[in-house]
């Protein structure tokens, strides 16, 4: 849980004629992450690589158009996956599919265009039906003309004004918001003038397809039938494309393997006779790698060497967090990837985050709501808003555990929806402000001390013993902070600086001063021991900054944990506010209002403040995000790429 998957560095050399088959075995193993420590000229794109990329692009195009239909899922199993394929066969298949896709796209574009026109026609027919007009009453006749359409309501007075003194009659009715249906009727001698006026006023003239029934009600039914027919044709075209996408799975294994092998080639060094492969593999897979290579290359032609990681190496990191803890990986991932030699903080983050939320938001009833809300998130298979289904489930588990913590502390505080219906097992924050503040400070001190211990462990694992001993966040820092805590308690009890020199206390004063001096001198000590050519004055200035920061930051960070008590007290104060407002707006409305405020504002503020304390006060003491994620070469299914 706290250690990453054990990794081994390997060096592999095989005759260059075995490069292709060896890389294929490595890809099939799905456990090797290749690295390239020496510059290698990039390989030019070859036909296989271009063919594979064309295959993926075409598949993605078809899936985006046809969608993931049930037809595809049911029929996929009817195609036999072929691990070995002649590239010319794949090329012929892609040519055929591209031609089919182009033809299908043209068909669907024409159908979609027709559907759009028909839906506009249906809307216009609905206007005619509303005002009792028929299609055969519109148009040019031997002596008169009739034009029907839509015009902006603001332009209607201008139309009446412009057609004044002519034979044209304007009849209008409501159509859309800020638009009117207008029928203009007049003698043919005024038709040309009327058309110019209507064009000037952006008149949307109605036109209808031929062979429609003159009766708008019957014509609407005809249009709807045509729309359904066209939509059915679109769906059939999509289903035809979906069938085509199924056939892609016949060649999927060959294409995805080929792409990965070509990617691996760009990470391989070569001589005239040898292929040199270098990378990382989990320790438990080393024998498997050896056996896979020896299956295709004679053992006497294989050079394979494994080494343990060194502190200066960039080792791929894979942490295997299980159960509830895995949901809290998001907190670690937001900071970056921990170094291979660092402690995995995910489990620690989970415990601290949940505990701090409960301390600030201790309420049985409100905590239970968070549990229910979290459960709702875990049921969202399709996700919510910008979150995928998997992300929503992780958020749900975090909310559920935080809610359970709030319920636990609610029993300790005796809080239930801001009421005091249960006795407090520990204390009531509003009635015991000094006590809850001391508990918050003790918790904060313990958390900061834990961070410094973790930093010391990390430095020792990286074999950086100097920093582990003299660093401000390591052994010397722990000594200074521990002594400083006891000195602060002694000072508070006496409220006199003379207490620092009293018997039994002066030793702590000496430890604190010596530790601070060592922190001040640590950059100079490091430069001297490691023979760095830096000036002494530069290192002393650097040490002064380090010592000053240690003096200020540790005090500020410790006091910052008072917010744990402040939120708990504020929660009780809102309950008191509900009682105060009860005579004004009623007891039930008052408590409902305050609980809504508590849940929406205080609840989510507690989530944010817990995160802030964990990131700023805690993790900055030990966490360095300079690791690289373990991403082995593996065959990625087509569905994963979409």
Model pLDDT for residues 628-637, shown as the tens digit of each residue: 999 998 887 7
Q: What's the pLDDT at 582? A: 86
Q: Is 172 left (phi over 0), alpha (psi -120 to 50) or beta?
A: beta
Half-sphere exposure of 461 (CA within 13 A, CB side): 18
Alpha-carbon dihedral of residues 497, 498, 499, 502, nearest 10 degrees?
150
Residue range 483-501: mean pLDDT, rounded: 82
Read off the pLDDT band of 75 (50, 70, 90). very low
pLDDT of residue 3: 86
Tell me the average pLDDT of the chain.
87
Rg (Cα) of the chain, in Å, rounded?
A: 38
pLDDT score of 33: 93
Residue 385, pLDDT above cutoff 70: no
Q: CA–CA distance from 307 to each of 28, 279, 293, 498 (Å)? A: 23, 11, 18, 58
- Per-residue confidence band for 640, with pLDDT thresholds at 50, 70 and 90: low
Q: What is the mean pLDDT of residues 177-199?
A: 93
Residues 556/562/567/568 CA torsion (nearest 10 deg): 170
Give CATH for domain 1-42+266-318: 3.30.70.120
Q: How far apart are CA 351 and CA 357, in angstroms?
A: 10
Is 419 a residue whose pLDDT tops 60?
A: yes
The strand pair at 144-152 and 204-205 is best described as: antiparallel
- What is the percent of the chain with per-residue pLDDT over 70, rounded to a whole number? 94
DSSP 358-388: HHHS--HHHHHHHHHHHHHHHT-TT-BTTB-
pLDDT at 264: 87
Sequence-distant (≥ 6) Cβ neighbours of residue 189 within 8 angstroms: 167
Query: Strand ranges (DSSP E) for 16-143?
Result: 33-34, 139-140
> In angstroms, rounded to a whole number, what is the distance separating the alpha carbons of residues 82 and 250?
6
Give domain limits for the chain.
1-42+266-318, 322-432+563-622, 464-560
**404 vs 395: CA distance, rounded Å:** 14
Report the pLDDT value the prediction gives residue 257, as an integer from 0 to 100: 86
Is residue 151 left, alpha or beta, with left meaning phi > 0 and alpha meaning psi from -120 to 50? beta
Please give the share of the chain, as a percent, with pLDDT higher than 90.
Answer: 49
**pLDDT (0 to 100) of residue 642:** 44
Confidence of residue 80 (pLDDT cuts 50, 70, 90): low
Least confident of 97-106, 253-262, 531-540, 602-611: 531-540
Over residues 26-62, the pLDDT tens digits come to 998 999 999 876 544 444 457 888 888 888 888 888 8
pLDDT at 68: 54
The values of phi and psi at residue 363, to 5°, are -160, 125
Instruction: Pick the range with the lowest mean pLDDT from 62-76, 312-326, 476-490.
Output: 62-76
Rounded average pLDDT over 489-504: 79
pLDDT at 106: 93
Mean pLDDT value across residues 532-549: 75
Question: Where does residue 495 fall: left (phi above 0), alpha (psi -120 to 50 degrees), or beta otherwise?
Answer: left
CA distance 389 to 399: 15
Confidence of residue 249 (pLDDT cuts 50, 70, 90): confident
Distance from C-alpha of 354 to C-alpha of 300, rounded to nearest angstrom: 57
Average pLDDT value for residue range 591-617 = 91
pTM score, whole prediction = 0.76
Distances (CA, A) of 248 to 57, 62, 84, 311, 583: 12, 10, 14, 46, 72
39 vs 97 pLDDT, higher one: 97
| Residue 532, pLDDT above cutoff 70 | no
Q: From the centroid of its chain, how far is CA 589?
A: 39
* Confidence bin at 190 (pLDDT 50/70/90): very high
Nearest alpha carbon to residue 263 among 274, 255, 271, 272: 255
**CA–CA separation, 558 vs 453, rounded Å?**
16
> Are 602 and 361 within 8 A, CB to CB?
yes
Residue 124 CB contacts under 8 Å (≥ 6 apart), including other chains: 206, 208
- Locate 27 and state its tokens: 């890809």
The reported pLDDT for the residue numbered 43 is 44
* pLDDT for position 312: 86
Local confidence band at 79 (pLDDT 50, 70, 90 cut-offs): low
Instruction: Say which residue, 15 or 500, is predicted with more confidence.
Output: 15
The whole-number average pLDDT for the span 377-382 is: 83
pLDDT at 191: 93
């Amino acid at each position: 849980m706290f250690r990453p998957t054990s990794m081994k560095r390997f060096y592999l050399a095989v005759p260059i004629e075995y490069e292709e088959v060896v890389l294929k075995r490595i890809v099939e193993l799905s456990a090797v992450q290749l690295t390239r420590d020496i510059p290698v000229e990039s390989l030019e794109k070859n036909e296989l690589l271009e063919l594979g990329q064309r295959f993926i692009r075409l598949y993605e195009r078809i899936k985006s158009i046809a969608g993931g239909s049930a037809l595809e899922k049911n029929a996929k199993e009817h195609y036999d996956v072929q691990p070995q394929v002649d590239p010319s066969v794949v090329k012929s298949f892609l040519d055929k599919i591209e031609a089919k896709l182009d033809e299908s796209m043209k068909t669907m574009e024409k159908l979609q265009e027709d559907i759009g026109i028909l839906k506009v026609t249906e809307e216009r027919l609905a206007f005619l039906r509303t005002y009792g007009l028929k299609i055969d009453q519109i148009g040019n006749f031997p002596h008169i003309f009739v034009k029907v359409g839509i015009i902006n309501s603001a332009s209607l007075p201008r139309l009446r004004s412009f057609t004044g003194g002519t034979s044209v009659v304007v009849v209008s009715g409501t159509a859309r918001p800020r638009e009117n249906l207008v029928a203009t009727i007049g003698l043919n001698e005024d038709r040309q003038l009327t058309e110019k006026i209507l064009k000037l006023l952006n008149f949307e003239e109605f036109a209808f397809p031929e062979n429609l029934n003159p009766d708008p009600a019957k014509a609407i039914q005809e249009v709807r039938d045509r729309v359904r027919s066209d939509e059915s044709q679109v769906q059939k075209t999509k289903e035809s494309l979906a069938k085509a996408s199924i056939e892609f799975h016949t060649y999927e294994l060959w294409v995805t393997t080929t792409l990965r092998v070509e990617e691996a080639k760009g990470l391989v060094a070569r001589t005239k006779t040898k292929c040199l492969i270098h990378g990382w593999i989990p320790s438990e897979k080393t024998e498997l790698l050896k056996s896979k290579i020896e299956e295709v290359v004679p053992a006497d032609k294989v050079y394979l060497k494994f080494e343990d990681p060194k502190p200066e190496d960039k080792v791929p990191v894979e942490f295997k967090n299980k159960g509830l803890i895995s949901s809290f990986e998001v907190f670690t991932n937001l900071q970056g990837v921990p170094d291979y030699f660092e402690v995995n903080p995910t489990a620690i983050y989970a415990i601290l985050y949940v505990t701090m939320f409960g301390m600030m938001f201790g309420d049985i009833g409100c905590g239970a709501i968070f549990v229910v809300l979290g459960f709702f998130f875990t049921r969202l298979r399709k996700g919510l808003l910008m979150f995928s289904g998997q992300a929503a489930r992780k958020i749900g588990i975090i909310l559920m555990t935080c809610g359970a913590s709030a319920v636990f502390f609610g029993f300790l505080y005796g809080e239930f929806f801001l009421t005091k219906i249960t006795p407090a097992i520990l204390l009531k924050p509003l009635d015991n402000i000094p006590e809850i503040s001391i508990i918050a400070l003790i918790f904060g001190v313990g958390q900061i001390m834990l961070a410094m211990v973790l930093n010391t462990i990390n430095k020792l694992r990286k074999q950086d013993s100097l920093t582990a001993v003299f660093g401000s966040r390591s052994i010397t820092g722990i000594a200074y902070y521990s002594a400083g805590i006891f000195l602060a308690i002694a000072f508070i009890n006496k409220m006199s600086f003379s207490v620092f020199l009293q018997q039994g206390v002066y030793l702590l004063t000496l430890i604190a001063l010596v530790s601070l001096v060592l922190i001040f001198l640590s950059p100079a000590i490091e430069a001297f021991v490691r023979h760095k050519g830096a000036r002494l004055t530069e290192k002393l200035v650097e040490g002064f900054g380090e010592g000053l920061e240690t003096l200020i930051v540790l005090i500020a960070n410790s006091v910052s944990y008072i917010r744990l008590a402040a939120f708990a007290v504020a929660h009780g104060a809102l309950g008191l506010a509900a009682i105060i407002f009860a005579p004004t707006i009623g007891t039930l409305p008052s408590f409902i209002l305050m609980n809504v405020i508590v849940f929406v504002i205080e609840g989510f503020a507690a989530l944010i403040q817990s995160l802030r304390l964990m990131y700023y006060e805690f993790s900055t003491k030990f966490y360095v995000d300079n690791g690289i994620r373990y991403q082995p070469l593996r065959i990625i299914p087509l569905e994963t790429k979409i």
